Chain A
Amino acid sequence: MSGPNAAVGERLAQDYAAGFVTDIESETLPPGLNEATVRFISGKKNEPAWLLAWRLQALARWRKMTPPQWAHVTFPPIDFDAISYYSAPKQGPKSLDEVDPELLRTYEKLGIPLHERAALAGVETPQVAVDAVFDSVSVATTFKEKLREAGVIFCPIAEAVRECPELVQKYLGSVVPQSDNFYAALNSATFSDGSFVYVPKHTRCPMELSTYFRINAANTGQFERTLIIADEGSYVSYLEGCTAPMRDENQLHAAVVELVALNDAEIKYSTVQNWYPGDEQGRGGIYNFVTKRGACLGARSKISWTQVETGSAITWKYPSVVLRGDGSVGEFHSVALTNNRQQADTGTKMLHIGRDTKSTIVSKGISAGRSQNAYRGRVLMNPGASGARNYTQCDSLLIGDECGAHTFPHIESRTPEAIVEHEASTSKVSDEHLFLCAQRGIDAEKAVSMIVNGFCKEVFRELPMEFAVEAGKLLEVSLEGAVG
């Protein structure tokens, strides 16, 4: 490339540290999706009849639906019969001690501790309970016992179906209905694993909970389902992380996350998404088509989403909050970074139904290389939402002059008694910025990282401490070489 911003755009090489493949014996379903596939997955998990019926209903609905076309992304049509819907390591673990050492090494390489020993010995590091999902199954969940003492249930969702079926049956699909959208329907039919959390009344979950998703097998989609229920007056902070090997073909990740907060409950959900983004030419990478939604069912409940999105070839996700309870609060804090040929169409929906509900949206989009980055948001004030208030701030940062930033805010107020504010800005890291920094002795890499971190400050503040550091580093790595 040439032009005034040549220096900014050069060397778009990027170093994806999580791109290795684990050599492990897996049981993988042949590609294809039909009733037999769904029955196989359900059977694998010894599911009760109601759940199988629920899945089959979703499959029937999915067949009548078409993929959404409104997002600002382009990709060839996906052949859903070319994807395998189930892949699991052959050696299924019974307890932490029995986890395949190869898997333990995988998670160690990714910096995820799947043992409780180190954490127990360490005084400085706060304890984090981890559920590790490898392709289609959960391979380990740590600190289960300690959590159980506090009454907190944290387990793979397949296990929750067996252990607390009434909770699962009550809330599964209650926030994201099967027919919500094409990918949610697909997930409802085929979901394999994911995490389940229940925090009982008036309980503060004693540690951070986290799920680490890893796609390993080739030609496999990951369709996990997460359900978090915070009972009255409880609090939980939950984190998810994700990576995948570098592969030339695109892989589909179509997850559904449902959050339920009852009276005075609070759920803080943070994501550091680092799926393989594809190479410089846009070959390979994960299609991250995810439906995340929280329902503030109870009065004064609160749900906050914080996401740092650096990976995936295409990101299509809108973590949303339905503010049903009076005085409930919804928050969305997002950093979405795209480089090379990545495409992101992400944002949120805040649906104000109850009175005096409040929502805050802070979206930071960073585009580099030839990537396209779109914020899409919907703020709805229902007729009954008197005293409701939304504040939206939507900032874009462009690095180089071949990328794009787009903003699609939809604001709909059906009551005169609600207040909606929207602010937006676009700025650019230009050669002039880099020269100013260079003239003060600061090299280009440091300058870009300083500018990007400054730009994201407000969002990083929302992340739990150790993840804020990780997120900062991740941005640095993802932008490596974004300037010449």
Chain B
Amino acid sequence: MLRIENLHANAGDEPILRGVNLVVRPGEVHALMGPNGSGKSTLANVIAGRPGYEVTAGSVSLDGVDLLALPPEERAQQGVFMAFQYPIEIPGVSNMEFLKAALDSRNAAQGRPELSALQFLKLARAAAERLGLGPEFGKRGVNEGFSGGEKKRNEILQMLLLEPRLALLDETDSGLDIDSLGTVAAGVNAFAGEDNAIVLVTHYARLLEHIVPDHVHVLVAGRIARSGDKSFALEIEAKGYGWLTAPA
């Protein structure tokens, strides 16, 4: 489904990714770990198409579609979703308005019929409730005055509604208290299915107790230094990253 081959990318002028290879199949959950500056978030951003990154070599495809050739909104319409590490506010635009616009764009791009306002509200309210976002949530501006935990839950809400093919969760666990972590993890687990895949970018194995990965990769200096199963995450938790070095 997601195929990354020999991906090299710069952030500004600085080379960050130096040859990433990764294959993600439907139904899989991958965890991407690694020390600060190893390129975890850069990889997620490059896949999503954030401006400011330049791909210098390699390819990224989703279901055979060359993602790197598409502007970010079309990647999203193809089913790429990124939960932001630092979700920003859009004052004045209500959450419901924003969610509806996002859903409408996806439906239009995929040739699906547009939801009526009523259908949409039902869907959005149910999802918000599941994530513990109160009834006044819909009227508030996007992330406006949200606590850190609410912002992260809002990201997961958007994921649940947009039903992406590939969800990139960039440090979704950072800044969450233990209750919020549970709520967020439950949301992610409810989303995970046979038709989609999840890539978790995280510093800590803590998250992986709640969302169990099929594969764990450690990125060092812009390359995947080593991969393993969920037990590998525990090994890292115990030993740190120091013993892992980038492959030659």
Binding site for B on A (CB under 8 A): 4, 7, 427, 431-433, 435-444, 446, 450-451, 454-455, 457
What's the Cα separation between A440 and B74 when bound, in Å?
A: 9
Q: What are the residues of chain A within 8 A of B102 when measuring CB–CB? A: 437, 440-442
Question: Which residue of A435, A451, A457 contacts B50 across the interface (Cβ within 8 Å)?
Answer: A435
Give the shortest distance, in Å, between B164 (CB) and chain A (any CB). Answer: 10
* Cβ 8 A contact of A450, one of B48, B82, B98: B98
Chain A binder among B86-94, B188-196, B213-221, B239-247:
B86-94
User: Which of B52, B82, B90, B94 contacts A439, CB < 8 Å?
Assistant: B82
A443 near B141 with CB under 8 A, answer: no
Q: State A435–B109 Cα separation when bound (angstroms).
A: 18
Are B101 and A442 in touch, CB under 8 angstroms?
Answer: yes
B76 in contact with A450 (CB, 8 Å) = no
Known interface pairs A436-B84, A439-B76, A451-B92; 4 further A-B residue pairs with C-beta atoms within 8 A, sorted by A's residue number:
A435-B72, A437-B90, A440-B102, A454-B94
Q: Which residues of A contact B37 (CB under 8 A)?
A: none
Q: Are B73 and A442 in contact (CB under 8 A)?
A: yes
B81 at the interface (CB under 8 A from A): yes
Most buried by A among B91, B94, B106: B91
A432: chain B residues within 8 A (beta carbon): 88
Q: Is A7 touching B51 in the complex (CB atoms < 8 A)?
A: yes
Tell me which residues from 137 to 176 in chain B have a Cβ below 8 Å from any Cβ of chain A.
Answer: 141, 158, 162
Q: Looking across the interface, which residue of chain A has its beta carbon closest to that of B91?
A: A427
**Chain B, residue nearest A435 (CB):** B50
Contacts of B158 in A (CB 8 A): 440
Q: Is B42's CB within 8 Å of the partner chain A?
A: no
Q: Is the CB of A439 within 8 A of B72?
A: yes
Can you pick out 18 interface pairs between chain A and chain B where the beta carbons lie within 8 Å of each other?
Answer: A427-B91, A432-B88, A433-B88, A435-B51, A436-B84, A438-B71, A439-B82, A440-B76, A440-B158, A441-B76, A441-B77, A441-B105, A442-B101, A443-B73, A444-B73, A446-B101, A451-B93, A454-B97
A-contacting residues, B57-96, CB 8 Å: 71-73, 76-77, 81-82, 84, 87-88, 90-94
Chain A contact surface mostly? helix
> B48 touching A439 by the CB < 8 A rule?
yes
A432 to B88, CA, bound (A): 8
Range class of the B interface residue count: 20 to 34
CA distance A7 to B48 in the complex (A): 17
Tell me how far the C-beta of B80 lies from the nearest C-beta in chain A, rounded to whole angstroms.
8
Q: Does any Cβ of A come within 8 Å of B187's Cβ?
A: no
User: Is B222 interfacial (CB-CB < 8 Å)?
Assistant: no
The reply on B49 being an interface residue by CB < 8 A is yes
Interchain CB contact (< 8 A) of B162 among A7, A427, A440, A455: A440
CA distance A438 to B82 in the complex (A): 11
A4 pairs with B105, CB closer than 8 A: no
Instruction: For B52, list chain A residues within 8 Å (CB).
Output: 4
A441 touching B106 in the complex, CB below 8 Å, given contacts A435-B72, A436-B84, A454-B97: yes
Chain B: minimal CB distance from A62 (Å): 43
Please give me the residue from chain B that is nearest to A429 by CB atom: B90
Report chain B residues within 8 Å CB of A442: 73, 101-102, 105
Q: Given A4-B52, A436-B84, A438-B49, are A451 and B105 neighbors across the interface (CB < 8 Å)?
A: no
Cα A7 to Cα B73 with chains together (Å) = 14
B105 touches A454 (CB 8 A): no
Minimum CB–CB distance for A346 against chain B, Å: 20
Alpha-carbon distance A457/B102, docked complex (angstroms)? 20
Contact B141 A440 (CB under 8 A): no
Given contacts A433-B88, A442-B105, contact A450 B97 (CB under 8 A): yes
Partner of B81, one of A433, A439, A443: A439
Give Cα A436 to B49, complex, Å. Answer: 11
Give the shortest distance, in Å, between B32 (CB) and chain A (any CB).
18
- Does A438 lie within 8 Å of B97, measured CB to CB? no
Q: Which residues from chain A contact B98 at a C-beta distance below 8 Å?
A: 440, 450
Identify the interface centre among B87, B92, B101, B158: most chain A CB within 10 Å of its CB.
Answer: B92
Taking CB atoms, residues of chain B closer than 8 Å to A439 are: 48-50, 72-73, 76, 81-82, 84
* B141 lies within 8 A of A454 (CB): yes
Selected from A438, A446, A454, A455, the residue in CB contact (under 8 A) with B76 is A438
In the complex the two chains form, is A436's CB within 8 Å of B88's CB? Answer: yes
Q: Name the A residues within 8 Å of B73 (CB-CB).
A: 437-439, 441-444
Most chain B beta carbons < 10 A, residue from A427, A436, A457: A436
Q: Which residue of B lies closest to A6 (CB)?
A: B51
Output the least CB separation between A441 and chain B (Å).
Answer: 4
How far apart are B82's CB and chain A's nearest CB, in angstroms?
5
Kindly provide the distance from the CB of B175 to the nearest chain A CB, expressed in whole angstroms.
Answer: 18
What is the minimal beta-carbon distance from A152 to any residue of chain B, in angstroms? 38
Q: How far is the CB of A427 from chain B (nearest CB, A)?
A: 6
Q: Which one of B88, B98, B141, B162 has the highest number of Cβ atoms from chain A below 10 Å of its Cβ?
A: B98
Residues of B within 8 A of A443 (CB): 71, 73, 105
Bound form: Cα–Cα A444–B76 in Å: 13
Q: How far is it, in angstroms, between the C-alpha of A438 and the C-alpha of B80 when the chains are bound? A: 11
On chain A, the residues within 8 Å of B94 by CB distance are 454
A residues in contact with B141, CB < 8 Å: 454
In whole angstroms, how far apart are the Cα atoms of A448 and B92 in the complex?
A: 12
- Whether the Cβ atoms of A433 and B90 lie closer than 8 Å is yes
- Nearest first, the 3 closest Cβ-Cβ pairs linking A and B are A454-B92, A441-B105, A440-B102
In the assembled complex, the Cα of A443 lies from the Cα of B106 at a distance in Å of 11
CA distance A441 to B77 in the complex (A): 5
Are B109 and A441 interface neighbours, CB within 8 A? yes
CB pair A450–B93 under 8 Å, yes or no, is: yes
A443 to B82, CA, bound (A): 16
Task: Name the residue of chain A whose CB is nearest to the CB of B107.
Answer: A441
Closest chain B residue, CB of each to CB of A440: B102
Q: Are A451 and B51 in contact (CB under 8 A)?
A: no
Query: A431 to chain B: which residues have CB within 8 Å?
Result: 51
Compute how far the CA of A457 lies from the CA of B97 in the bound complex, rounded to whole angstroms: 13
- B176 shortest CB reach to chain A, Å: 20
Residue on B with the closest CB to A425?
B91
* 8 Å CB interface, B83-140 against A: 84, 87-88, 90-94, 97-98, 101-102, 105-106, 109
Residues of B within 8 A of A451 (CB): 90, 92-93
